[in-house]
Amino acid sequence: MQTAPNDPLNRPTTPEAGPVQPAGTVANTPPEAPGAIRLWVRDLLISAVASILIITFLYQPVRVEGTSMLPRLEDRDRLFINKFVYHISAIKRGDVVVFRYPRDLEKSYIKRVIALPGDHLRIDHGTVWLNGKRQAERYVPEEYRDDGSMAEMVVPASHYFVMGDHRCISYDSRVFGAVDRSLIYGKAVFIMWPARDAGVVR
């Protein structure tokens, strides 16, 4: 058996193999390019499928048509609605919802929930009263208020009274009545376009 010249450890060598790799070290071998590409493609496909599933089953992009929800939502704003949230939580006063228009189910409207099933509601010269309490409605600017009135009513079971924030021009439950729960299919959550308006819908 030979020893490597000038090797103080006298590591054994063979003519074919050369010096033995010291114990506990790892050989420096470059990664295989085809394998790395396969991993990258796999991760990309998983991300794409996950994004499609999230958009398909949870969120849906929609476009606002009209100005009845000014000042927060403008004509042609693009936003995401959550289609799943009302399967696990209740509709609340103040939610901005998307629903099928009761008189033409091919059309969809977007309005704000003002009263829930069983609420006593009346409108006195533009001021909303719920269950005997005056509502502040800070989301309605003074210049968008109207002076209309409506006699007291009790919102029917499984129905929701909705109104636009631009009270002077909004066509809403004051005209077509409370909306059946089955027609409400989403909650507006986020404006994505135009960029200047991007943000959470409140």
Would you please indicate which residues are annotated as catalytic (active-site) residues? 68, 111
Task: Count CB-CB contacts under 10 A for residue 191.
Answer: 21
Query: 111 vs 30, 58, 59, 67, CA distance in Å?
Result: 60, 20, 18, 11
User: At which residue do the structure tokens 């299919």 appear?
Assistant: 185
Cα–Cα distance measured from residue 153 to residue 166, given in angstroms and rounded to the nearest whole number: 22
DSSP state of 115: E
Q: Are 200 and 190 in contact (CB under 8 A)?
A: yes
Cα–Cα distance measured from residue 201 to residue 197, given in angstroms and rounded to the nearest whole number: 10
How many residues are present in the chain? 202
Cis link prior to 71 (omega < 30° from 0)? Answer: yes
Q: Which amino acid is residue 6, in one-letter code?
A: N
Host H or E run for residue 150: strand 150-154
